[in-house]
Amino acid sequence: MSRYPTRLRQQRLWRAATLVLSLTGLLLGGCRPAETERELPPILFISLDTLRWDALGAVRDAPTSLTPNLDRFAADSVLLSKAVVPMPFTLSSHMSMFTGLYPQVHRVTTPKDSLTSGIQTLSEILQQAGYRTIGRVTNDWLKAEFGFGRGFEDYERLPHRLTYSDRVNASAAEALASAAEDPRPLFLFLHYMDAHSDFFQQGRNRLPYYSPPVFREKQDAASQVVFCDDQGRCATQFLLEADREGRTIPEKQVETLRSLYESGVQYLDRDLGKLFDLLKEKGLYDKALIVVTSDHGEEFQEHGKFLHSQIYDESVRVGLLLKLPNQDLAGTRVDSQIEIVDLLPTLLDLVGLQGSNPVQGRSLVPLMQGETFSDSAALSQNKLNRARFALRTENYKIIHDLKAGTEEVYDLRKDPGETTNLAESRPELTARLRRQLREFVKANRELARELNPEDAPETATGQSVLTKEERERLEALGYIQ
């Protein structure tokens, strides 16, 4: 039996609302008591949109790496190699990071949604605790109006262009300079988008994954012009239409796609190295708590599709790096399965704070200190078919469509690529996993009703949070279909 349904029932009764504050023993209602003199560390939260778990050299431990700067950062950090996201969708996954709740519960899953006022975000908790809160983001799905702006005194969405990381770095440098004279501890949220697929721009870009030309030297000229179809749909739209039409792209072309994606990862890694150097120059690196993770991965036809919508590991598994102040626990690697919803309780545990409402994640501090969890089950939901869920345990995964009744079961130990469906050959295992998944989904729905009561402001506004221009940009990136 999964730990989650039982834990959610306890949360619905508000018996599990407090966090284990293992480092400090403080119990706070979102702020520090006057009697404590303990200094809160700076916190940097870095989200790398669309970074697959296996793009991180430190995670896959390969002889060559796309990410030397992130690998060096990982050596100073705790590496959690097997993090699972609840939906391969920037909007919903990030809201889960900031609330510790599954998308079914926080209910921010469409352009018309905004977070209900009864659910606290990480930035609100930190602001109430005395942090100066600054955010710099690069994706329209992270608009303040969805709820991401809550708790930030300075939150900016940077202009939408083909490259991002250098501009995020420049804006981060300005934010750090402006905060230098402020006595309050700093919380800085940075979102990078350079691993993400890109939009068609006449005369400038026809590539599904764009990075500056110096990073694309290994792709020959011919390979850079094949990503348009007969109707002139190029870049991300080329991949989106291939998915819609069920077209299979030749493996050689898929290899070029992967190579273009990897070039974007290398570009991103270069500028992350510059960011870490900047933090060291300003004396922030050593004393800061730094998080690096991703909202989802990316598909390269492993299961018939591209971009990121399905709930196989290439889309829902990501890496998580946690650098503690003074590099405490540096070099620790945790290979146990964890979830992105665990981030909020972990960060609050590490700085001795808590929020006012229940969360579904749990602090990872015990795992980081060498303990083990007796159970582990992660729930993910398909981005396009919301009736389709996956339950992933340490050893198995079931993918179950609640409406159609179809299901797939994989033995992740013997078949990490999820290629052999065991649903019919292992009926007892399938029945047990199906029951566990259904209980999980039911518990989420019940908690959602309690955290979004009928007399509270509706989370769905009735109107899109996105402008016409923003919607068109997201359509060009394959988000809105």
475: tokens are: 């359509």
Q: Is the pLDDT of residue 17 over 90?
A: no
**Whole-number pLDDT of residue 226:** 73
pLDDT digits 0-9 by tens, 204-243: 888 999 999 999 887 766 556 678 888 888 999 999 999 9
pLDDT > 90: percent of the chain = 73
Name which of 23-37, 163-177, 187-201, 420-434 the model is least confident about. 23-37
Q: Is the pLDDT of residue 338 over 70?
A: yes
4 pLDDT band (50/70/90 cuts)? Answer: very low
pLDDT digits 0-9 by tens, 163-185: 999 999 999 999 999 898 899 99
Tell me the three-class secondary structure of 204-235, residue by residue: CECCCCCCCHHHHCCCCCHHHCCCECCCCCEH
CA distances from 413 to 90, 296, 396 (A): 28, 22, 8
For tokens 């306890």, the residue is 10
pLDDT > 70: percent of the chain = 85
Q: Is the pLDDT of residue 7 over 80?
A: no
Contact 195, 231 (CB under 8 A): no
pLDDT digits 0-9 by tens, 53-84: 999 999 987 788 999 999 999 999 999 999 99
Contact 131, 187 (CB under 8 A): yes
* Helix pair 165-179, 251-281: axis angle to 10 deg: 20
Distance of CA 439 to the CA centre of its chain: 24
- Secondary-structure class of domain 39-476 per CATH: alpha beta
Name which of 26-35, 261-270, 321-330, 376-385 the model is least confident about. 26-35
pLDDT digits 0-9 by tens, 440-469: 999 999 999 988 865 444 444 456 776 766
Instruction: Quote the CA–CA distance of 92 and 8 in Å, as a whole number.
Output: 20
For residue 327, how many other CB atoms are within 10 A of its CB?
14
Distance of CA 463 to the CA centre of its chain: 26
Q: Where are the domains of the chain?
A: 39-476
Contact 158, 168 (CB under 8 A): yes
pLDDT digits 0-9 by tens, 81-114: 999 999 999 999 999 999 999 999 999 999 999 9
For tokens 């279909």, the residue is 481
Contacts of residue 304, Cβ cutoff 8 Å, sequence gap at least 6: 246, 248
Query: What does pTM read for this prediction?
Result: 0.89
Nearest to 98 by CA among 148, 137, 134: 148
β strands within 116-221, DSSP E: 132-137, 154-157, 186-192
